[in-house]
């Protein structure tokens, strides 16, 4: 069993620290006494965050980084060495999505997305693993996956593919490191839908603004999972029973989940607001930074029972029941309404009409 350092003795590298989950994690980690190396492309946001943390008595170093560039990532690791003599946990959090029909999204956009969402994780994981193996003291690699890395969704095809690749990479890396008796804990975090500017930063091919519509978890729940994994060697942490329900449903009834996704993922990802992503999309340029939350619609949860259960096994049964209820809600809604022509809608390149009653219905769902 790998023995990790207490948080207050740790140096942590966080990619994607300028916004959303990374920003919340950095602030929460600083409050626990973690010394931080902060990475993202938005240099102003990173400096502002580091100043804020240092002013409040913490220690943080900003390192403007494009995670899709190996040289940038090597410089990030070197800065952690030069500033703090090394690091104890490395969080591969930076990521971005593309919303659009799979047959429409350009290959150039897909490749840039993979550079960030997949290759950034590979570069970061390897640099961290090599560091922990060379120094011979335990460390944690924490990769941020997605519910869509367990089960693909319509509309975000390239993102689903990149997150499946992250899941596969993380599991394979864990086995190779264990076989080598390396003192490294490898954790995959599986967030459900989280309230961050993720959708505003995405590249969007639709005329409607994309958002989460339905049950939404706070970024603090993911930060809590990340900090737990930095201290405890844990294989997987699901954030939200929603994430677990999608994973289990996809594994045991894949065709049914196709129908669930086709039925609900258009209505629960496309709003009736006009898209703003042309101004805010961050696929090729830094996103607007220093915002923890986005513009989602639905039931905002205050925490994740699944994360609490991971930290406290006595709650695990309750969380399993929660995931079961979430899955049953999906299936029963599907059987009441029948499968619809989501696939037919998807085959049209024109805007997809959003029916208010569908949105209303979807917002009560657990997805």
Contact positions vs ligand NDP (CB under 6 A): 15-22, 40-42, 45, 65-68, 93-96, 116, 144, 146, 191, 193-194, 196-198, 201, 282, 286-287, 289
User: Judged by CB, which is closer to ligand NDP: 100, or 197?
Assistant: 197
User: Judged by CB, which is closer to ligand NDP: 39, or 319?
Assistant: 39
Q: Is 281 left (phi over 0), alpha (psi -120 to 50) or beta?
A: beta
User: How far apart, in whole angstroms, are the C-alpha atoms of residue 89 and residue 94?
Assistant: 15
Structure tokens belonging to residue 142: 């924490």
SS3 136: coil
User: How far apart, in whole angstroms, are the C-alpha atoms of residue 167 and residue 94?
Assistant: 15
User: Minimum distance from CB of 272 to ligand NDP (Å)?
Assistant: 20
Q: Is 86 left (phi over 0), alpha (psi -120 to 50) or beta?
A: left
Residue located via tokens 């059987």: 335
User: Minimum distance from CB of 324 to ligand NDP (Å)?
Assistant: 21
User: Minimum distance from CB of 347 to ligand NDP (Å)?
Assistant: 26
User: Judged by CB, which is closer to ligand NDP: 138, or 202?
Assistant: 202
Give the single-character DSSP code of 184: E
User: Minimum distance from CB of 85 to ligand NDP (Å)?
Assistant: 24
- CB distance 196 to 294 below 8 Å: yes
**Residue 287 to residues 18, 62, 64, 181, Cα–Cα distance (Å):** 9, 16, 13, 40
159 catalytic? Reply is: yes
User: Judged by CB, which is closer to ligand NDP: 98, or 182?
Assistant: 98
User: Minimum distance from CB of 287 to ligand NDP (Å)?
Assistant: 3
**Which distant-in-sequence residues (6+ apart) come within 8 Å of 85 by Cβ?**
none
User: Judged by CB, which is closer to ligand NDP: 36, or 282?
Assistant: 282
User: Minimum distance from CB of 3 to ligand NDP (Å)?
Assistant: 28
Q: Report DSSP letters for 43-106, one per residue.
A: HHHHHHHHHHHHHTT--EEEEE--TT-HHHHHHHHHHHHHHHSS-SEEEE-----EEB-TTTS-
User: How far apart, in whole angstroms, are the C-alpha atoms of residue 336 and residue 339?
Assistant: 9
User: Minimum distance from CB of 348 to ligand NDP (Å)?
Assistant: 26
User: Judged by CB, which is closer to ligand NDP: 138, or 330?
Assistant: 330
Structure tokens belonging to residue 248: 């289990």
User: Judged by CB, which is closer to ligand NDP: 15, or 333?
Assistant: 15
- CB distance 95 to 117 below 8 Å: yes
Q: How many CB atoms lie within 10 A of CB 104?
A: 12
Which entry of 159, 217, 228, 306 is annotated as an active-site residue?
159
Q: List, by residue number, the catalytic residues.
A: 159
């Amino acid at each position: 069993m790998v023995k990790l350092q207490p948080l207050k003795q740790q140096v942590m590298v966080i990619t994607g620290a300028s916004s959303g989950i990374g920003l919340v994690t950095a602030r929460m980690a600083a409050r626990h006494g973690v010394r931080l190396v902060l990475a993202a492309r938005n240099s102003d946001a990173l400096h502002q965050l580091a100043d804020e943390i240092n002013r409040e008595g913490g220690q943080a170093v900003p390192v403007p980084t494009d995670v899709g560039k190996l040289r940038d990532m090597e410089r990030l690791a070197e800065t952690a060495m030069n500033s703090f003599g090394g690091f104890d946990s490395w969080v591969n959090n930076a990521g971005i999505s593309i919303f659009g029909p799979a047959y429409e999204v350009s290959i150039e956009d897909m490749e840039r997305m993979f550079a960030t969402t997949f290759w950034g994780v590979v570069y970061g994981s390897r640099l961290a693993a090599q560091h922990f193996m060379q120094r011979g003291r335990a460390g944690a690699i924490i990769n941020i996956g997605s519910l869509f890395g367990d089960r693909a969704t319509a509309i975000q095809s390239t993102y689903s593919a990149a997150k499946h690749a992250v899941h596969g990479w993380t599991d394979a890396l864990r086995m190779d490191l264990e076989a080598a008796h390396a003192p490294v804990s490898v954790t995959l975090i599986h967030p459900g839908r989280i309230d961050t500017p993720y959708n505003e930063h995405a590249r969007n091919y639709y005329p409607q603004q994309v958002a989460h519509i339905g049950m939404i978890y706070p970024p603090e729940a993911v930060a809590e999972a990340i900090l737990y994994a930095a201290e405890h060697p844990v294989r997987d942490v699901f954030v939200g029973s929603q994430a677990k329900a999608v994973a289990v449903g996809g594994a045991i009834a894949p065709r049914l989940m196709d129908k669930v996704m086709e039925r609900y993922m258009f209505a629960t990802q496309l709003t009736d607001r006009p898209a703003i992503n042309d101004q805010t999309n961050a696929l090729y340029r830094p996103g607007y930074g220093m915002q923890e939350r986005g513009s989602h619609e639905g039931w905002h949860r205050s925490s994740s029972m699944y994360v609490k259960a991971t930290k406290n096994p006595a709650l695990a049964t309750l969380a399993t029941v929660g995931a079961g209820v979430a899955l049953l809600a999906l299936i029963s809604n599907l059987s009441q309404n029948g499968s619809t022509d989501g696939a037919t809608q998807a085959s049209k390149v024109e805007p997809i009409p959003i029916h208010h009653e569908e949105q209303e219905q979807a917002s009560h769902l657990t997805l």
